[in-house]
Amino acid sequence: YALTQPPSVSMAPGQTAKIACGGDNIGSKSVHWYQQKPGQAPVLVVYDDSARPSGIPERFSGSNSGITATLAITKVEAGDEADYYCQVWDTTSGHIVIFGGGTKLTVL
Amino acid sequence: QVQLVQSGPEVKKPGASVRVSCKASGFTFTNHGFNWVRQAPGAGLEWMAWISGYNGLTNYAQKFKDRVTVTTDTSTNTAYLDLRNLSSDDTAIYYCARGGWAVVGDASDAWGPGTLVTVSS
């Protein structure tokens, strides 16, 4: 099972950034999203498709249907510039975790 | 507060083994599982293994099944990653991350700072 993310997304401050994560029938799986800034460990920003951990701004939201899961970041700020990774649990290949390749969000 | 404190950087020669530790505090160890994820220089995240802090159940990525062992010590609230037969391709930052206790699929909601392992002759 593989997850496909665009290598990069660029957005002006104040706009809405959408980062896609594609996978076969991904809508049937729970998708988690992580933000990783340079030199830092990843941080969970969305879990179980659309839930937000405490402390994560409401500007971060997730959706998942069909063959694409999406992380949306509204009112993008300079501090949102980071790599974003999607993750699923694949039970078809023996209960393993799969990460997408990551998307670099650049705030113009 | 939730903390995962990892062991320090390691420099190893090809063919050697390395152990990375992850000491947990601020939460009940046996209520969670622990994922091990690595990141090679300039690359993305790669999941290696998961272990339940509750019952020691494990899952491994196929790629690492023959070279990796993950364990826990509930008396010290510490998770361990053992990686054998190192090569230069194993040079990476190794992260432990708190996950669910029952299944590998839960999100990792807390991460350690990472341990840099460098493999060089």
Q: Which two tokens stand for residue B22?
A: 């992850």
Q: What is the band of A35 on the pLDDT scale with cuts at 50, 70, 90? A: very high
Contact B12, B102 (CB under 8 A): no
For chains A and B, what is the number of CB pairs under 8 angstroms?
A: 66
Q: What is the band of B67 on the pLDDT scale with cuts at 50, 70, 90? A: very high
Q: How far apart are CA B70 and CA A18, in angstroms?
A: 36
Q: Best residue in B32, B70, B111 to probe A by mutation, most A CBs within 10 Å? A: B111
Q: Is A51 exposed, middle or buried (0-12, 13-18, 19+ CB in 10 A)?
A: middle
DSSP one-letter code for B89: G
Contact B58, B64 (CB under 8 A): no
Residue B11's DSSP bridge partners are B118
* Mean of pLDDT over chain B: 96
Residue in B closest to A49 by C-alpha: B107
Q: How far apart are CA B110 and CA A53, in angstroms?
A: 11
Chain B residues whose beta carbon lies within 8 Å of the beta carbon of residue A96: 47, 59-62, 104
Chain A residues whose beta carbon lies within 8 Å of the beta carbon of residue B114: 41
Whether the predicted pLDDT of B15 surpasses 90: yes
pLDDT tens string B1-11: 999 999 999 99
In this prediction, residue A50 carries a pLDDT of: 97
Mean pLDDT of A18-36: 97
In this prediction, residue B103 carries a pLDDT of: 83
Whether the predicted pLDDT of A94 surpasses 80: no
Whether the predicted pLDDT of B101 surpasses 90: no
In this prediction, residue A96 carries a pLDDT of: 87
Q: What is the band of B105 on the pLDDT scale with cuts at 50, 70, 90? A: confident
